[in-house]
């Protein structure tokens, strides 16, 4: 008899081992319930295959009793045992070994009748590979072979390979319905993996506190904007925004208040940026803004809206004496790299702080310059 490989595939022991104890146990219980449904289907359909051969050979009553117990009762017994176990997944692996052992017994009792025997071996093999990989298949196959040889020896090694039409007809439901059931579960698994990968991609590129892109994603957007400028020309601006007096907020009101301010800045940035722009949390209370197809004049207008909207948002927050300073730099042809671009914007931000905060300072485009040694005379406040 055989149980479903697809049931194991949805939550393998490898997955469960990496989860926290409580969550892993909950998922293990759901896994056991899934397996129960598919095991019930597999053993029920396998019951018909084996029964057709036993009827052909006139099997005694005790063999029929064993078949009923294994084919109809065992799925529910296995479920109960696994749910009561302290380690449900380990219990299911033991049950898998029992399934293989019983598969060997039924193959011998059917006297190696060709079609149902091949069907049982194939489904049991698929089952084990999906459950725990090829090594687990080798171990359980050893159980199957040992049980098959021992049972066949007790019967005098009887062999009857012929598969008459009634047995073929009895095997058809198993041959058709069980693979379809596995395919349906595997389809759900594929969708689940796709959703998980999408979620992981979002998590890996998003700052948890603000919901903006994280530093890595911001730098990647800047690199893409620089590469696009080198290939096709056009303008692009990189801005660094910093919250003025942010340390005072944390010291006076605590980090929860500081977190609220960071989230407020993130909300204001998203409200005032285009879909093609990228806003990323760069470091602490600094934000990196990548604005493709934008001139310094356009960046200045955006900065003006951001500062005004942020002031409005904090007007209702008691003792929130903070504002936003920004430094901006436009991309140009002989710019060395993204680090060079960021350094220019950061130097402009530093001058905005020196000039009294709550303002934008831009670094005008230049044609020739010494890398990493910005000429301070070209910075202008706005």
List the catalytic residues.
Answer: 285
- Beta-carbon-side half-sphere exposure of residue 358 (alpha carbons within 13 Å): 9
Cα–Cα dist 134/325, whole Å = 60
- Classify burial at 379, counting beta carbons within 10 Å of its beta carbon; exposed 0-12, middle 13-18, buried 19 or more: buried
Coil, strand or helix at 238 = strand
- Strands 236-243 and 324-330, sheet pairing: antiparallel
Sign of the dihedral through C-alpha 193, 196, 202, 203 = negative
H runs (alpha helix) in the chain: 5-10, 13-17, 21-57, 61-68, 74-84, 88-109, 114-132, 134-154, 165-205, 215-232, 246-253, 255-271, 296-314, 338-354
**Cα 222–chain centre separation:** 26
């Amino acid at each position: 008899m055989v149980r479903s490989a697809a049931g194991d595939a949805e939550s393998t022991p490898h997955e469960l081992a990496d989860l926290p104890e409580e969550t892993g146990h909950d998922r293990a219980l759901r896994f056991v319930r899934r397996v129960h449904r598919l095991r019930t289907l597999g053993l029920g359909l396998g019951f018909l295959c084996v029964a057709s051969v036993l009827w052909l050979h006139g099997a005694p009553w005790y063999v029929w009793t064993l078949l009923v117990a294994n084919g109809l009762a065992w799925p529910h017994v296995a479920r109960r045992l696994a749910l009561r176990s302290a380690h449900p997944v380990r219990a299911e692996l033991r049950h898998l070994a029992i399934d293989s052992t019983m598969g060997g017994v039924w193959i011998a009792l059917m006297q190696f009748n060709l079609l149902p025997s091949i069907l049982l071996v194939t489904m049991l093999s698929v089952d084990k590979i999906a459950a725990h990989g090829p090594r687990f298949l080798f171990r359980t196959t050893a159980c199957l072979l040992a049980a098959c040889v021992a049972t066949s020896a007790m019967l005098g090694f009887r062999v009857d390979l012929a598969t008459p039409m009634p047995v073929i007809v009895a095997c058809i439901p198993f041959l058709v319905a069980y693979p379809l059931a596995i395919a349906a579960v595997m389809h759900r698994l594929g969708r689940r993996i796709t959703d998980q990968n999408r979620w992981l991609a979002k998590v890996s590129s998003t700052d948890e506190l603000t919901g903006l892109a994280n530093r890595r994603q911001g730098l990647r957007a800047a690199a893409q904007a620089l590469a696009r400028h080198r290939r096709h020309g056009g303008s692009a601006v990189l801005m660094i925004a910093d919250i003025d007096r942010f340390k005072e907020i944390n010291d006076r009101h605590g980090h929860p208040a500081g977190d609220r301010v960071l989230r407020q800045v993130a909300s204001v940035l998203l409200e005032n940026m285009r879909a093609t722009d990228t806003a990323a949390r760069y470091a602490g209370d600094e934000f990196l803004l990548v604005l493709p197809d934008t001139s310094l004049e356009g960046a200045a207008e955006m900065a003006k809206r951001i500062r005004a909207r942020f002031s409005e948002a904090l007007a209702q927050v008691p003792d929130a004496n903070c504002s936003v300073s920004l430094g901006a730099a436009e991309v140009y042809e002989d710019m060395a790299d993204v680090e060079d671009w960021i350094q220019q914007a950061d130097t402009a931000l530093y001058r905005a702080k020196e000039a009294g905060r709550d303002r934008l300072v831009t670094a005008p485009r230049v044609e020739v310059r010494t890398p990493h040694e910005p000429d301070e005379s070209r910075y202008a406040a706005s």
